[in-house]
Amino acid sequence: MPEHNFVTITDVQAAQARLLGIAHRTPVLTSRIVDHRTHSQVFFKCENFQRTGSFKFRGAYNALAQLSPAQKQTGVIAYSSGNHAQAIALAGQLLNIPTTIVMPEDAPTVKQTATRSYGAEIILYDRQTTNREQLAQNLASDKNLTLIPPYDHPHVVAGQGTAALELIQEVGELDLVLVCCGGGGLLSGSAIATKALLPDCKVIGVEPTLGDDATRSFHSKTLQTVKNPNTIADGARTPSLGQITFPLVLHYVDDMVTVSEEAILRTMFFLWERLKIVVEPTGVLAAAALLEGIVTVPQTKIGVIISGGNVDLAQVGKLFSQS
């Protein structure tokens, strides 16, 4: 089986059936100001309105729902500083599966509290001295837990792809879909769904310039890494694309671009002010590429996936004072 066949449209459609009535069918918003500014017709798929505040719930639930009875009984473990943590914890609560989350001790208190509120056990670690993947793997072995990584898992990728599937089912033909990229789960899943339904539609992934590993990987066709990039888009601080997501991105995605920290802040401020929606820095990556003119495709229909809205409100004043 070719590497890019880890996940297919059939998997994404099966995930949609599993998520029916459980995940929110998130709204699609439009804006005349955005259309005028971009000379395009733009549709924002707002995953900031998803359960737990981000698209991550889709993949987490799809992965946990497919575990064997024995795996469900012993429980799962995941590592995440925020959105994947909350998604796994809620999916576990809904499916009655015990969850353990490995989180950095400096993760925002609001994210730790939210994760605990869904019934997860949290194990804190020091970012400077501990490799979270290794810690999680050791705990998984010791306690016989199933490890569910944040993006490099076929069931997670298939679940995330349902965001683009819903968007296309709702708005029909699109010429371009722009997708935020961290580890590539949302991007590869969305690209699989888009290319299956709309073969001529282009898919472009968007990263922060400070964490441009996927963009460099895409253009060089060799997996590149970045270590703890200092970007405000904390969901895109992933070290690299995964063994599953990298070949999928190479096969299904048409291009990758990056956006500056200033562009992220300006776009975040614009969406809060004009669309009246709470969006986190990582959530605006795809929108920033369009609104800042990095990607320009006038006279077309464009889908933009807004990936999440879990912003620490205590930090908002500080963020907006920089924009």
**What amino acid positions are annotated as catalytic residues?**
56, 81, 207, 211, 213, 307
Which among 177, 308, 182, 168 has a CA at the least distance from the CA of 235? 182
Cα 294 to Cα 139, 204, 205, 218: the distances in Å are: 43, 11, 12, 17
Cβ count near 290 (within 10 Å) = 25
Q: What is the DSSP string of 67-78?
A: S-HHHHHH-EEE
> Cα–Cα distance between 230 and 237 in angstroms, integer?
8
Cβ count near 230 (within 10 Å) = 9
Q: Is 237 exposed, middle or buried (0-12, 13-18, 19+ CB in 10 A)?
A: buried
Q: How far apart are the first and last CA of the chain?
A: 47
